[in-house]
């Protein structure tokens, strides 16, 4: 499924490049990793993965339109728009650059918004909006340890949380023990709803949740343009 998924993203991007005559124009997508403060500002809490140094935010700039993606691997380099169509996408590093570039191009063309992460107090405000989309007492599988979301969901839902960060696995946060990736399929069977980080499209695990026979919502800026292309449900209340 993953290869088909990335092919679908490239096909959609190719159609936009041809339609808007972007392929041969001297336009660069410059990808770079942001500092924690650039990415998330100065929030009240210091337990976010990007502040702890577990992940970085990659930002692509395309004609002053910015697109971002979360990743644990990154590169700082420039691409032509047409280069995105031939990228190998076999590593998180390449997928992060591709997704950031895709988000930037779609932002420039007015096809996607909220491609820039929220900052300062906004992550807390975003978490407060969860009750608008996730009913009380739902059995929620939280994919990715987003501390404000886990804090909020654990206050009124049944929650299981899986994460790739070995430093989180086995530890308890807000009375919920973080589980390893190996527990994902069993947790999917248990839950009534999946609430997954959009960075699953970068770390190549998103197919687990798209293919699951459960409602799935993808949160954060990483999945902005991909969600438009793949018709995924997203949650990102305070993205810019």
Do 88 and 15 belong together in one domain? Answer: yes
Name the nearest CA neighbour of 164 among 188, 146, 189, 139.
146
For residue 194, what is the domain's CATH number?
A: 3.40.50.11590
Q: Does residue 75 share a domain with residue 9?
A: yes
Full residue range of the structural domain in which residue 94 is found: 2-108
Determine, yes or no, domain membership for 115.
no
Q: What is the pTM of this model?
A: 0.91
Residue 143 lies in a domain: yes
Specify whether 134 is located in the same domain as 103. Answer: no
Average of per-residue pLDDT across 89-115: 94
Top-confidence residue, 45 or 115: 115
CA distance 232 to 222: 12
Which of 82, 108, 134 is the last residue before a domain boundary? 108
77 in the same domain as 41: yes
pLDDT of residue 32: 66
The pLDDT of 4-12, averaged and rounded, is: 95
Listed in sequence order, the residues at least 6 apart from 97 whose beta carbon sits closer than 8 Å to its beta carbon are 31, 58, 60, 69, 74, 75, 77, 79, 87
Q: From the CA atom positions of the chain, what is the Rg in Å?
A: 17
pLDDT at site 33: 64
| Residues composing the chain | 240
Q: Is residue 56 part of a domain?
A: yes
CA dist 8 and 10 (Å) reads: 5
Clarify whether residues 77 and 128 are in a common domain. no
Q: Domain ends where: 108, 135, 156?
A: 108
What's the confidence (pLDDT) of residue 1?
47
Q: Are residues 92 and 139 in the same domain?
A: no
Together in a domain, 230 and 139:
yes
> By percentage, how much of the chain surpasses pLDDT 70?
88
The mean pLDDT value of the chain amounts to: 90
The answer to the question of residue 227 being in a domain is yes
Domain boundary among 108, 143, 166: 108
Report, as an integer, the average pLDDT of 188-201. Answer: 97
Query: Looking at residue 75, what is its pLDDT?
Result: 85
Both 228 and 160 in one domain: the answer is yes
114 part of a folded domain: no
Residues 36 and 134 in one domain: no
Q: Are 94 and 60 in contact (CB under 8 A)?
A: no
Residue 30: what pLDDT? 74
Residue 195 placed within a domain: yes
- The model's pLDDT over 197-239, given as tens digits with 9 standing for 90+, comes to 999 999 999 999 999 999 999 999 999 999 999 999 999 999 9
Q: What is the 3-state secondary structure (H, E, C) of the chain?
A: CHHHHHHHHHHHHHHHHHHCCCCCCCCEEEEEEECHHHHHCCCCCCCCHHHHCCCEEEEEEECCEEEEEEECCCCCEEEEHHHHHHCCCCCHHHHHHHHHHHHHHHHHCCCCCCCCCCCCCHHHHHHHHHHHCCCCCCEEEEECCCHHHHHHHHCCCEEEEECCCCCCCCCEECCEEEECHHHHHHHHHHCCEEEEEHHHHCCCCCHHHHCCCCCEEEECCCCHHHHHHHCCEEECCCCC
Q: What would the pLDDT profile of 52-97 be if each residue is shown by its tens digit? A: 456 788 999 998 899 999 898 888 888 888 899 999 999 999 999 9
Question: What is the pLDDT at residue 51?
Answer: 47
State the total domains in the chain.
2
Q: Is residue 141 part of a domain?
A: yes
Residues 133 and 221 in one domain: yes
Which tens digits make up the pLDDT trace of 22-63? 877 655 677 666 666 775 577 666 655 654 456 788 999 998
Which of 48-52, 103-107, 130-134 has the lowest average pLDDT? 48-52
Question: Does the pLDDT of residue 143 top 80, yes or no?
Answer: yes
Q: CA nearest 146: which of 207, 199, 72?
A: 199
When pLDDT is averaged across residues 101-105 and rounded to a whole number, the result is 94
Do both 154 and 75 map to the same domain?
no
pLDDT of residue 28: 65
Q: Is the pLDDT of residue 159 over 80?
A: yes
Of 6, 161, 29, 187, the C-alpha closest to 92 is 6
101 and 144 in a single domain? The answer is no
Instruction: With respect to residue 240, please indicate whether it lies within any of the assigned structural domains.
Output: no
């Amino acid at each position: 499924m993953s290869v088909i998924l990335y092919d679908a993203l490239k096909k959609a991007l190719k159609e936009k490049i041809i339609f808007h005559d972007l392929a041969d124009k001297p336009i660069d997508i410059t990808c770079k990793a942001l500092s924690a403060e650039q990415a998330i500002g100065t929030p009240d809490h210091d337990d976010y993965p990007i502040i702890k140094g577990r992940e970085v935010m990659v930002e692509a700039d395309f004609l002053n339109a910015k697109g971002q993606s979360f990743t644990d691997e990154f590169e700082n380099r420039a691409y032509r728009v047409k280069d995105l169509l031939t990228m190998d996408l076999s590593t998180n590093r390449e997928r992060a650059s591709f997704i950031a570039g895709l988000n930037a191009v779609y932002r420039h063309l007015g096809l996607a918004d909220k491609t820039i992460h929220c900052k300062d107090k906004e992550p807390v405000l975003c978490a407060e909006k969860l009750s608008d989309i996730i009913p009380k007492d739902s059995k929620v599988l939280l994919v990715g340890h987003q501390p404000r979301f886990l804090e909020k969901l654990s206050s009124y839902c049944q929650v299981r949380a899986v994460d790739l960060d070995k430093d989180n696995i086995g530890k308890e946060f807000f009375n919920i023990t973080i589980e390893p990736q190996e527990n994902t399929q069993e947790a999917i069977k248990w839950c009534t709803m999946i609430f997954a980080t959009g960075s699953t499209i970068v770390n190549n695990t998103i197919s687990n949740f798209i293919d699951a026979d459960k409602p799935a919502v993808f949160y954060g800026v990483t999945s902005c343009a991909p969600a438009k292309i793949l018709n995924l449900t997203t949650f990102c209340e305070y993205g810019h």
